[in-house]
Structure 1
């Protein structure tokens, strides 16, 4: 796509706009999107799909989403992406190759979500298969979230040591405004400043169900002997909150 329509970018953050433009306007084989927790990666995927839907059908690329978990696959599907697990893609495509067939990905854009969870071997296989078929791929994820169980950190290495263009999404949209500065502090590895910010947010500021248990402070220190108190805080804290604040702070 020569240029992304401005009308599709009006409600996006600066990071979402940069990522959307790179994905749609770049002709590079591989590009990377680093998006921290809560920056709206699903919203950004929707913008990509909306822009692609405006292209003439005869030139419109096929979009295939790949992710290591079924949950991530489901989130991509909710954004309109035809998604499947990375493992199933590798299995089926390698099976075709063993049978003497070469998949055609010449007009195909792959969106590789949760790439930080993919090990070196699977990432290398996926990239090799995409190159063999003539496709393009965008690896999206967050270095600071879950890491691969398998050896290697290819997503991190792609950003640090490859020539791939990288778009960074860092504007947090899924978090209470009072707690958002704490998230930015954690991104910057400043734990002390993050805890100081959280301490200033009293438990009363978080909507809870009537009669629900609430801690005395937003930051509570437990000793190793207080395991039952820790279990109580974990089991009763989050479920006691109303639906809206639970959604705005999930995965944080």
Structure 2
């Protein structure tokens, strides 16, 4: 059964004036989230001594300055406020931040302050890649949300009141899943910290709970882009984060960073040539070639591999005596595939039994 949602406080039904509908079940789930987070907001039992917060901020400042000798570089005022916000006594805290606005640096300092206070800090994200990124950038040991749920079903890794549970990319988590985590953290008496950007990639499942929670309990904001150094790049990042995609792309086009080709073959050739040339010129840098369709991804991968074989970086099947060893063929789920020493491999599923 569908339910028509009441207009918001301004009397507007939806952004476009249309009525909004949900299901009875989803309204109930989101009602439970709302009552849980309001109860958590009032529980002020997770404070951190000011001396621990100040020491963590000072340590993060030193680390930034060590990596960036320009004067005045350190945590921004926004980042300091966010650190103070999440290390406050409330049982729930939310940080909204643009991509590149320094969320990881902020969380690294918060982790140090929480640990100095004796808390255990755990991280979670929807995607494995995001959990890995959270751990590498902030030092918070992290796993996927699915992995946490699996552990709890088996009655392992349960939380308690001395735990802080950080969920990154919170805007991508759907209502049903987030409801489970809010409930588990509240029941354990732990602290929940949600970090994300409700304007970025949306949840695949139903609901937009991150936005609703941030409005209900308040949040700290990070909108000063710090990942890019050039002002035009910072502005482009803000444009991308604020749905002004054409403006962001125009800035990169104006600086000669976007090339357009007449057809698919020309594009593929250019991507392959540029990738291989950049790899030779800057062996210690990183680069990525991306495409929307699997056909194009396969063509780009095959082209790059062939180019690396031509310049002797990877073995060829026809040259088993080369110093790079031998190219070997294997039967995979996707047909016969060839591999040589030095190939980069992406595994398409997790298999803990294989290590």
TM category (shorter chain) comes to: 0.7 to 0.9
The alpha carbon displacement at 1:239 in A equals: 6.3
Instruction: Indicate which of 180, 189, 213 corresponds to 1:125.
Output: 180
TM-score (norm 1): 0.74
Match of 1:21 in 2: 84
Instruction: Indicate which of 123, 138, 162 corresponds to 1:65.
Output: 123
1:188-210 per-position Cα deviation (integer Å, ceiling 9, x unaligned): 333443334223313xxxxxxxx
Match of 2:142 in 1: 83
Going from structure 1 to structure 2, the CA distance change for 1:121 and 1:9 (only over 3 Å counts) comes to same
Instruction: Indicate which of 90, 93, 100 corresponds to 1:38.
Output: 100
1:229 aligns with 2:292: no
Answer yes or no: is the 8 Å Cα contact 2:97–2:223 preserved in 1: yes
The whole-number CA distance in structure 1 between the counterparts of 2:98 and 2:266 is 31
The alpha carbon displacement at 1:235 in A equals: 4.8
Which structure has more RCO (C-alpha within 8 Å, separation ≥ 6)? 1
The whole-number CA distance in structure 2 between the counterparts of 1:75 and 1:39 is 15
The alpha carbon displacement at 1:24 in A equals: 0.7
Answer yes or no: is the 8 Å Cα contact 1:31–1:164 preserved in 2: yes
Match of 1:206 in 2: none
Larger radius of gyration between Structure 1 and Structure 2 = 2
Match of 2:305 in 1: none
Answer yes or no: is the 8 Å Cα contact 2:97–2:221 preserved in 1: yes
The whole-number CA distance in structure 2 between the counterparts of 1:164 and 1:197 is 36
Match of 1:165 in 2: 218
The whole-number CA distance in structure 1 between the counterparts of 2:159 and 2:128 is 25
Going from structure 1 to structure 2, the CA distance change for 1:201 and 1:153 (only over 3 Å counts) comes to same
Going from structure 1 to structure 2, the CA distance change for 1:235 and 1:168 (only over 3 Å counts) comes to farther
Match of 1:187 in 2: 241
1:210-240 per-position Cα deviation (integer Å, ceiling 9, x unaligned): xxxxxxxx344566xx233344455555665
1:6-35 per-position Cα deviation (integer Å, ceiling 9, x unaligned): 52464212332222111112x222221112
Answer yes or no: is the 8 Å Cα contact 1:64–1:81 preserved in 2: yes
The whole-number CA distance in structure 2 between the counterparts of 1:238 and 1:141 is 32
Q: What SS does the corresponding residue of 2:201 show, helix, strand or coil?
A: coil
Going from structure 1 to structure 2, the CA distance change for 1:240 and 1:8 (only over 3 Å counts) comes to same
Q: What SS does the corresponding residue of 2:160 show, helix, strand or coil?
A: coil
Unaligned runs of 5+ in 1: 203-217
Q: What SS does the corresponding residue of 1:96 show, helix, strand or coil?
A: coil
Going from structure 1 to structure 2, the CA distance change for 1:182 and 1:2 (only over 3 Å counts) comes to same
The whole-number CA distance in structure 1 between the counterparts of 2:99 and 2:179 is 25
RMSD: 2.9
TM-score (norm 2): 0.54
1:92 aligns with 2:151: yes
The alpha carbon displacement at 1:124 in A equals: 0.4
